[in-house]
Structure 1
Amino acid sequence: MPSDRLFKTMNAVHRVALKLTGNRVGARLSGMQALELTTIGRKSGKPRSVMLTAPVQEGDAYVLVASRGGDDNHPAWFLNLRDNPAVEVQVVGRPKQQMRARIATPEERVRLWPIAVKQFKSYGDYQKRTNREIPLVIVEP
């Protein structure tokens, strides 16, 4: 499984690519909208930001996949928003927006998971690697 160091490096490279290219490189990855999610650290109480992709957008809401590459542990950003659902989202090229995060209901997950996997096939592979059900998170204004 990817290490925390690798995830942090990938996030840093993504931010640099966006900055150096005026958002031309990295605004969309594998056809998915890129965004920055800021949560409040559940232990530190400090803002924590991560670059993510949203394989599904419905109206003003974005669906995020808490896959962590198929790791058996949830990503830190998921644990943070689970404890404090008030988040800030900045879609690449747009202003930051205060949003609320929630874990998709079982019925929503049944509907949204195939759409996410169709958008990015690796999500299905990630689910096969782990015993945990990979959560879908919906962020909405």
Structure 2
Amino acid sequence: MGWYTNVIRLLGHRPWFATLGRTVVPVDRWLQQRTGGRLTIIGRTALPSLLLTTTGRKSGLPRTVPLLYAPDGDAFVITASNWGQQHHPAWSANLLAAPDAVVAISGDREIPVRAVLAEGAERERVWPLVCKVWPAYDTYVERSGRDVRVFVLTPR
């Protein structure tokens, strides 16, 4: 990994960085959608990212959010860390209610997926994968005081 990625990963542990991250999510989503995933706020080559589109559990409308992921074979592992906040992000409740979703990575490539909440031994197996991508997830768990949901997204 390059120096830029290393700096971003170190800054991820700082509370101010999480606050900034939450603020720029709408801009990052817009940027990724407009460039077909070629550009993100954190830089395309820095960390693996995707756009996750879920179905709103209340509205029934598509909801898209940019997320980091860890590859696990053909699957994508994502966390509902919510930048270390004390509540789960809305998109994770959407996945629990309707596990079929769509992932967009690398431009026009859209992949229909089915989300499964990782629990027990499966969670233990995939947690190190996501922490290797973004070590601050451990910090977010401590800061939030909650169990952070982890999902495995398998292509349908």
Task: Indicate the TM-score class for this superposition, using the shorter chain for normalisation.
Answer: 0.7 to 0.9
Q: Are the aligned partners of 1:18 and 1:27 in contact in 2 as well (CA < 8 Å)?
A: no
Distance, in Å, in 2 between the alignment partners of 1:101 and 1:38 is 11
Which residues of structure 2 form unaligned runs of 5+?
1-14
Cα deviation for residue 70 of structure 1 reads 1.0
Between structures 1 and 2, the one with greater helix share? 2
CA contact (8 A) 1:36 1:92 kept: no
Matches of 1:22 and 1:57, distance apart in 2: 17
User: What stretches of structure 1 of length at least 5 have no aligned partner?
Assistant: none
C-alpha displacement at 1:97, in angstroms? 1.5
Secondary structure, aligned partner of 2:145: coil
Q: Which shows bigger deviation, 41-50 or 117-126?
A: 117-126
**SS at the partner of 2:109?**
coil
C-alpha change, 1:133 and 1:65, in structure 2 (3 Å) is same
1:78 counterpart = 2:95: no
Q: 2:88 corresponds to which letter in structure 1?
A: H
Q: Which residue of 2 aligns with 1:102?
A: 116
Once the two structures are superposed, the pairs formed by residues 1-141 of structure 1 within 5 Å of their partners are 7=22, 9-16=24-31, 19=34, 23-24=38-39, 26-29=43-46, 31=47, 33-54=48-69, 56-141=70-155
SS in 2 for 1:42: coil
The Cα shift of 1:49 comes to 0.5
Which amino acid in structure 2 is aligned with residue 113 of structure 1?
W
The change in CA–CA distance for 1:111 and 1:17 in structure 2 (over 3 A counts) is closer
**Structure 1 residue 92, shift from structure 2 partner:** 2.5
Task: Please give the per-residue CA displacement for 1:12-67, whole angstroms capped at 9, x wherever unaligned.
Answer: 235326746971553344x3x1111000001111010111110x211210000110
Name the SS for the 1:15 alignment partner. helix
Percentage of matched positions with identical amino acids: 33
Tell me if the contact between 1:52 and 1:64 (Cα under 8 Å) persists in the aligned partners.
Answer: yes
CA change 1:21–1:104 in 2 (3 A) is closer
